[in-house]
A and B are shown apart, each in its own frame.
Chain A
Amino acid sequence: MPIFFEKRQLVTPGDLLAEGDYLAGENTYLENGKIYAQRIGLVDSENKRVDVVALRAFYIPKPGDIVIGSVIEVGFNGWTVDIKSPYTAMLRASDVLSRPFKPQNDELSQVLNAGELVVAKIASYDRAHDPQLTVAEPGLGKITRGQLMRVTPTKIPRIIGRKGSMISMIKQETNCQIILGLNGVILVTGKTPEDEELAMTAITKIEDESHTSGLTDRVTQLLKEEKQKREEKKNE
């Protein structure tokens, strides 16, 4: 029952990872008793389970996920929302209005128009049906302020950090509110555009260096340096 990798080793699709008494975890597959990688990523194993943490992937909806999307079409009884996934999502009018929707009373484009952005939760999704969104919860709904940025969806957990250590640190250091859409879209809202820029540089750094260790410390340092530079500029 050999393993053919070291922990956190970089693998490419088709790399043989393990043979025999192992379970094929995420981004891996089993063929003839052998486990191979499906994507470019870093291997990890835990309790006989072999996983690959993908470095490049796209977002596949999962019920319960918070996502950020933009309205692409106003329909008869709802909106079509682009959630940066292979599948476009539907948001129903009755869900947004939180009362029965009557086409003769409500003009949908006045509630949400094409091009506007929403924070929403995936209400349902399976192989046969496109995802349905819901905004009937606190914190969800139309976005009015802030800046958006995109990262690879697989890197969102890295930005959150262990028990949220990374994201809470960034929030604290930059005084920004940050909403992480699991589809890789991030909303940064701060008091000033400068604060937002600062938070965004930190997130970009995490994305670029997500597969390296000791990242939280380096990001903290980066934020401190950037802040100092700004102070110096102000004093000049």
Chain B
Amino acid sequence: MSNKPEKLIDKKGLRLDGRKADELRSLKLEVGILPNADGSAYIEHGKNKILVGVYGPREMHPKHLSQNDRMVIRTRYHMAPFSVQERKSPAPSRREVELSKVIRESLEPSVFNDLYPRTGIDVFIEVLQADGGTRCASITAASLAIADAGIPMRDLVVACAAGKVEDQIVLDLMDEEDKLGVADVPVAYMPSLNAVTLLQMDGILSPEEMEKAVTMAIEGCKKIYAKQQEVLKTKYQLVKEGVEE
């Protein structure tokens, strides 16, 4: 596609797409767009386009996977063959299986899974277009879809990454920065409870840099959280206003 850029951050401190170090990419969220699913959400985070459908709680199939004391969460993260430059085989890759697990574990603490034993929910995450940071965008959208399905939750989960590009700590890495940069730190976070549910690091960072990156990522999460709440509320507020006029 493109040749390797010479510099990821220019003299003015702007990044490849013109963002400042602590600036998020453009964000668009939607909920309840799949009529067949119990809950659904769509996210456009920069060039990422991800669709999430949630089904359940329902009886687990196969039955032996159900647990007598809690509701089971099953996630499937999948990238469409056309989501990346080079065609991706539609079969689940090692990376997708791992991301499914990572996303599930970052969502689990937010759901009251002891209320409905012997049931399960299915979270299907379909990446239609990928541009770095899909796991974070997936978590943000999946959490919205779970809330839309009416499943009781402690809080919405938001995720955002920070990382090191050249010698600067920056927020919300895109594909090129992720690949050519020094380190990437995805963080999933529940803002109301001030709890981190996912923390990963890929690359090399000093303890100080790590701390700075996590703080920056959490700040980014808070900004996304506001949008998440807003989009959930508008869905119902619209009806209310339309009627009261």
Is there a chain B Cβ closer than 8 Å to A56's Cβ?
yes
Whether a CB of chain A sits under 8 angstroms from the CB of B59 is yes
The CA-CA distance from A12 to B234 in the complex, in Å, is 11
Q: Which residues of A contact B193 (CB under 8 A)?
A: 14, 31, 36
Does B112 interact with chain A (Cβ within 8 Å)? yes
Residues of the B chain whose Cβ atoms lie less than 8 Å from the Cβ of A128? 68, 117
Cα distance A166–B105 in the bound complex, in angstroms? 45
Q: Are A27 and B236 in contact (CB under 8 A)?
A: no
Interface string of A40-63 (1 = CB under 8 A from B): 100000000000001111101000
Q: Which residues of B contact A55 (CB under 8 A)?
A: 150, 236
Count, A-B residue pairs, CB within 8 A: 90
Per-position 1/0 for A1-40, Cβ under 8 A of B: 0000000001011111000000000010101000010111
**Complex: chain A residue closest to B57, CB-CB:** A86
Q: A14-B155, A86-B57, A86-B119 are in contact. Are A54 and B190 (CB under 8 A)?
A: no
Task: Tell me whether B233 is interfacial, beta carbon within 8 Å.
Answer: yes
- Chain A residues within an 8 Å CB radius of B1: none
- Name the one of B116, B147, B148, B153 contacting A86, with C-beta atoms under 8 angstroms: B116
Instruction: Convert B14-53 into 0s and 1s, putting 1 for each residue whose CB lies closer than 8 angstroms to a CB of A.
Output: 0000000000000000000000001100000000000000
* A91-B59 Cα distance, complex, nearest whole Å: 18
Among A14, A36, A40, A58, which residue has its beta carbon within 8 angstroms of that of B236?
A40
> Residue B92 at the A interface, CB < 8 A?
no
B215 within 8 A of A: no
A88 at the interface (CB under 8 A from B): yes
A110: Cβ under 8 A from any B Cβ:
no
Chain B residues within an 8 Å CB radius of A56: 39, 148-150
Binds B, one of A93-101, A170-178, A189-197, A206-214: A206-214
B147 nearest CB neighbor, chain A only: A13
Given contacts A55-B150, A55-B236, A56-B148, 14 further A-B contacts (CB under 8 A): A12-B232, A13-B154, A14-B154, A14-B156, A29-B152, A39-B147, A39-B153, A40-B232, A58-B57, A86-B116, A209-B239, A211-B240, A212-B239, A218-B243
Which A residues fall within an 8 A CB radius of B? 10, 12-16, 27, 29, 31, 36, 38-40, 54-58, 60, 86-88, 127-128, 152, 208-209, 211-212, 218
